[in-house]
Structure 1
Amino acid sequence: MPSWLGQMVLSCWELVGRILGTSKDDVSDDDDPDDSLLHSPLFWSRDLEKHSCGEFSVAVVRGNEVIEDHSQVDTGREVTFVGVYDGHGGPDASRYISRRLFRNFIRIAKEKGTISENILRSAVIETEDGFLSFVRGSFVRKPSIAAVGSCCLVGIIWRGSLYVANLGDSRAVIGSLGGSKKVVAEQLTIDHNVGLEEIRSEVRALHPGDPDIVVENQGAWRIKGIIQASRTIGDAYMKQPEYNADPRFRRCYLPLPEPFQRPLLIPEPSLHRRVLQPSDGFVIFASDGLWENLTNQQAVDIVNKHQRAGIARKLIKRALKEAAKKRQINFDELLRVPDATRRNFHDDITVVVIFVDHDLLEKGAPVP
């Protein structure tokens, strides 16, 4: 690799800002002081921050007793990295991804001297391999770790292009100005969820000898009646049969009813590259807790009609209001639901809204 190219990539990643974890100290007080969500211990946000070519807003609300969503925004002089990791079975996998995926991506990009879809894929696969090694090392003291997994949604903006990798049913949606001067929603990712007929067909094609690979359970299509996501990081017992057969695992977790010959879930991300156009205004990255309650167009309209500061919070509040309506209670009643039963009302929800300012995109202006 030419030395100047390696130096170029290295300079791109002189990080000037990083968001990880959750803290009530991150909450802004510039909203309505009577807004019960803003002051809820379930919630945290960053109302508005700068990234390499614009601004972004982040918000999270907890639905599980222990939050299983993790997220990050990393910004350098010319590159912005966004990650939303929706865990299940516990927070171990999503936490691991938030600590390792970005590092893996940086190292591979430096080695190759560029950024591409293949480099992003390699970082995801390396993160999967690393987590499965972590499971192997932790299994004796914690057999249930074999049942922990996470969806994974990543976006990177570099040199006028947006690169997206996705496993699972988190979603990236872009808002663009259409021909009628109306902002139009376009989904950039595929929902790897067997609730969709095309995903059920994909899974069945990978397991032609297993008529029960996808079955209905509790009113939803699930792989082996257990999980809706067809692509994940982790979930070792559904990928490596030795965990499913181990007596230590079977004592603490309901095993699969029969042995399997090939992985039931795959870690292969779907990849997308988009050259950003002047009509592209913003991208919403969110876990499925948002999309269970809002359509793509509803979410884009909310972002378009409100000021940037606190917009991720507004999306979460609207989603929670819809969740409350489904259960025939009001918003404040929803916030008072006990932790032990809250997951019956709504999931963890993570929202990151990335605004793209094209004058900065063209200049490559450094972040203050």
Structure 2
Amino acid sequence: MMLRSCCRPLERCFARRGGGGGSDGLLWHSDLKPHASGDYSIAAVQANSNMEDQSQVYTSPSATYVGIYDGHGGPEASRFVNKHLFPFMHKFASEQGGLSVDVIKKAFNATEEEFWHLVKRSLQVKPQIASVGSCCLVGAISNEVLYVANLGDSRAVLGRKANQDKRKSVIAERLSTDHNVKVEEVRKEVEALHPDDSQIVMFARGCWRIKGIIQVLATIWLPF
């Protein structure tokens, strides 16, 4: 499991993906809603006939959590993360006196461990569950600090207003690091973690893939 986290002073943040509010074909959106530090809106575009992705927003007077879970191979992993990750974050934050990088890491680890238990219990009756996975992207605002954590290659971007040539524009600032084996650094890390498997990363169908099948390193993914 790989986790990248960053902390920075709170700036205006725009969430992406979600559901509710309205729809237009395979597009869902919600209107602006208030949270502890401003307003938020969410939207989603369905790419497959079976919606494998999940998203959620939790708001309270002291904190705001946003989660985006890009499922693959089926919806089971993303739905599981959607149900369990935020409760673990709330539990560990309560035990440790507030949100922190350590709290988020513990919540990610606990969610993955619980999913492993589910897979082991279900494998005989539902073997397909061993091949599902989900990327995981979380943004959390607490005490005027923005935390961003991700597994997989879903990307967090901060939109910052800027004035250029007397025109109002928005500059996109990348806040997370993609975990995808098309990135050489990630590819080398995967190879180092599996020194006895010469085919852990293969060049197939025009790009680098894990086992020649998938590019992304996901939140929940069982070894081959």
Taking a change above 3 Å as real, the CA distance of residues 94 and 208 of structure 1, as seen in their structure-2 partners, is same
The one-letter code matched in structure 1 to 2:219 is I
Cα deviation for residue 104 of structure 1 reads 0.7
Deviation at 1:44, TM superposition (A): 1.5
Q: Would you say the 8 A contact 1:89–1:148 is kept in 2?
A: yes
**Root mean square deviation of aligned Cα:** 2.0
Match of 1:216 in 2: 203
Q: Distance in 2 between matches of 1:98 and 1:63?
A: 19
Question: Of 43, 50, 53, which residue of structure 2 is paired with 1:69?
Answer: 53
Q: 1:183 Cα shift? A: 4.0
Amino acid at match of 2:53: D
Name which of 159, 173, 190 aligns with 2:157. Answer: 173
Instruction: Give the structure with the higher percent strand.
Output: 2
AA partner of residue 194 (structure 1): V
User: Is 2:33 the partner of 1:46?
Assistant: no
Alpha-carbon shift at residue 182 of structure 1 (Å): 5.8
**Aligned residue among 213, 219, 224 for 1:233:** 219
Structure with larger RCO (C-alpha < 8 A, sep 6+): 1
TM-score (norm 2): 0.85
CA deviation vs aligned residue, 1:251-282 (integer Å, no higher than 9, x gap): xxxxx5xxxxxxxxxxxxxxxxxxxxxxxxxx
Length, aligned pairs only: 205
Q: Deviations over 1:128-180 (max 9, x none)?
A: 00111111111111011011110000110011111111000001111235696
Give the Cα–Cα distance (whole angstroms) in 2 for the partners of residues 209 and 138 of structure 1. 29
Q: Report if aligned partners of 1:146, 1:234 keep a CA contact under 8 Å in 2.
A: no
Q: 1: distance between equivalents of 2:98 and 2:32?
A: 29
Q: How far apart are 1:216 and its partner, in Å? A: 1.5
C-alpha distance in structure 2 between counterparts of 1:191 and 1:185, whole Å: 16
- Correspondence for 2:133: 149
The aligned residue for residue 108 of structure 1 is 92
Q: Which amino acid aligns with 2:173?
A: E
Aligned to 1:79: 63
Distance 1:84 1:208, change over 3 A: same
**Alignment counterpart, residue 148 of structure 2, candidates 164, 171, 193:** 164
Counterpart residue type for residue 86 of structure 1: D
1:234 is paired with a residue of what secondary structure?
Answer: coil
Give the distance between the partners of 2:24 and 2:187, measured in 1 at CA. Answer: 42
Map of 1:197 onto structure 2 = 184
Q: Determine if contact 2:19/2:43 at 8 Å carries over to the other structure.
A: no
- 1:206 maps to 193
The residue number in structure 2 matching 1:188 is 175
4+ runs of 1 displaced by more than 6 Å?
none
Note the residue ranges of structure 2 that are not aligned, 5 or more in a row.
Answer: 1-17
Aligned partner of residue 146 in structure 2, secondary structure: strand
Equivalent position of 1:3 in the other structure: none
Unaligned 5+ runs, structure 1: 1-20, 28-37, 239-255, 257-368
Q: Among residues 91, 114, 119, which one is paired with 2:75 in the alignment?
A: 91
State the SS of the aligned residue for 1:233. Answer: coil
Secondary structure class of the residue paired with 1:215: strand
The amino acid of 2:221's aligned partner reads: D
Report how far residue 208 of structure 1 moved: 3.1
